[in-house]
Structure 1
Amino acid sequence: MFPRTLPQPEILSVDGLPTLRWGIIGPGWIADRFAAAFRHHTRQQLVAVAGRNLDKTTAFAGRWDIPRIFTEASEMLALKDLDVVYVATPHNHHFPDAMKVLQAGKHVLVEKPLALNAQEGAKLQQEARARKLFCLEGMWCDFTPKYDVLRQLLENGDLGDLHTLIADHGEYFTPDHRIFNPDLAGGPMLDLGSYLISLSITVAGSVPAQVLAQGQPAPGGVNGQASMLFTHHNGMHSVLNTTLFSRTPSGAVIAGRDATLSLNGHFYAPGDFTLASSEGNQLLHWKDKGGHYEQLSYEIEHTAWCIGQGLTESPIRPLETSLMTLSTMDNVRRQLGIVFNEERQD
Structure 2
Amino acid sequence: MALPDALPAPRVPDPMTAPSLRWGILGTGWIADKFTQALQAHTRQKVVAVGSRSQSGADRFAQRFDLPAAVGSYDDLVQRDDVDVIYVATPHNHHHEDALRAIGAGKHVLVEKPIALNAAQARDIAAAAARADVMAMEALWTMFLPKFDIVRQLLANGVLGRIHTVFADHGQHFEGDHRILRRDLAGGPTLDLLTYPVAFANWVLGAPREVLARTTWTPNGEVTGQTSVLLMQDDGAQAMLHSSVLSRTPTAAAICGEDAMIAFDPDFYVPAGFTVSDNAGASLRHDEPEVAHTGGLHYQAAQLAWCIAAGERSCTIRPLEESIQTMVILDEARRQIGEIYPEEQ
1:15 Cα deviation after fit: 6.6
Match of 1:182 in 2: 183
- Give SS of 2:255's match: strand
TM alignment of 1:207-246, pairs within 5 A:
207-218=207-218, 219-246=220-247
Q: Secondary structure at the match of 2:248?
A: coil
Instruction: Quote the offset at 1:235 in angstroms.
Output: 1.7
Does residue 132 of structure 1 match 2:133?
yes
1:275 is paired with a residue whose SS is strand
- Partner of residue 97, structure 1: 98
Cα distance in 1 between the residues matched to 2:16 and 2:144: 18
Mapped to 1, the partners of 2:174 and 2:302 lie a distance apart of 31
- In 2, the alpha carbon distance for the partners of 1:167 and 1:18 equals 34
1:86 & 1:240 partners in 2: Cα distance? Answer: 29
Q: Which residue of 2 aligns with 1:26?
A: 27
Q: Is the 8 A contact 1:182 1:220 kept in 2?
A: no
Which residue number corresponds to residue 107 of structure 1?
Answer: 108
C-alpha contact (below 8 Å) 1:306/1:312 kept by paired residues:
yes
2-structure distance, mates of 1:17, 1:248: 36
Moved more, 218-227 or 63-72: 218-227
Return the alpha-carbon distance in structure 2 between the equivalents of residues 41 and 242 of structure 1: 31
Q: Residue type matched to 1:283 in 2?
A: S
Q: Which moved more, 1:210-219 or 1:93-102?
A: 210-219
SS in 1 for 2:41: helix
Partner of 1:296: 297
The match for 1:71 is 72
Query: 4+ residue runs of structure 1 moved beyond 3 angstroms?
Result: 13-16
Contact 2:277 2:284 in 1 (8 A): yes
Alpha-carbon contact 2:16-2:43 (below 8 Å) kept:
no
TM-score scaled to structure 2, two decimals? Answer: 0.97
Q: Aligned residue for 1:339? A: 340
Q: Are the aligned partners of 2:51 and 2:77 in contact in 1 as well (CA < 8 Å)?
A: yes
**Residues 307-318 of structure 1 aligned to structure 2 (within 5 Å):** 307-318=308-319
1:160 Cα deviation from its structure 2 partner: 0.5
1:77 Cα deviation from its structure 2 partner? 1.4
Q: Which shifted more, 56-65 or 185-194?
A: 56-65
- Name which of structure 1's ranges 92-101 and 174-183 shifts more when overlaid on structure 2: 174-183
In 2, Cα distance between equivalents of 1:272 and 1:194:
21
Q: Quote how far apart the aligned CAs of 1:221 are.
A: 1.7
Does the CA contact (< 8 Å) of 2:16 and 2:42 recur in 1? no
Q: State the alpha-carbon separation in 1 of the partners of residues 230 and 280 from structure 2.
A: 27
Q: How much does 1:299 deviate? A: 0.7
Matched, 1:284 2:308: no
Equivalent position of 1:81 in the other structure? 82
Q: Which runs of 5+ in 2 are unaligned?
A: none
User: The residue matched to 2:114 in structure 1 has which SS?
Assistant: coil
TM-score, structure 1 length as denominator?
A: 0.97
2: CA distance, partners of 1:244 / 1:15:
36
When the two structures are aligned, how many residues end up with a matched partner?
342
Return the alpha-carbon distance in structure 2 between the equivalents of residues 76 and 112 of structure 1: 21
> Structure 1: which amino acid aligns with 2:213?
A
What CA distance in whole angstroms lies between the structure 2 residues aligned with 1:192 and 1:268?
10
User: Which residue number in structure 1 is paired with residue 172 of structure 2?
Assistant: 171
Could you tell me the percent identity over the aligned residues?
43
Is the CA contact (8 Å cut-off) linking 1:181 and 1:220 kept in structure 2? no
Q: What letter matches 2:335 in structure 1?
A: R
> Match of 2:27, as an amino acid?
G
Separation in 1 of the partners of 2:297 and 2:16?
18
Task: Give the Cα separation in 2 of the matches to 1:159 and 1:295.
Answer: 26
Q: Distance in 1 between matches of 2:51 and 2:289?
A: 33
**Tell me, which stretches of 5 or more residues in structure 1 are unaligned?**
none
1:255-304 Cα deviation digits (max 9, x unpaired): 10100110011110110000001122x11001114322111111111111
Name the aligned partner's letter for residue 83 of structure 2: L
Query: CA, structure 1 residues 156+62, in 2 after alignment: closer, same or farther (shift >3 Å)?
Result: same
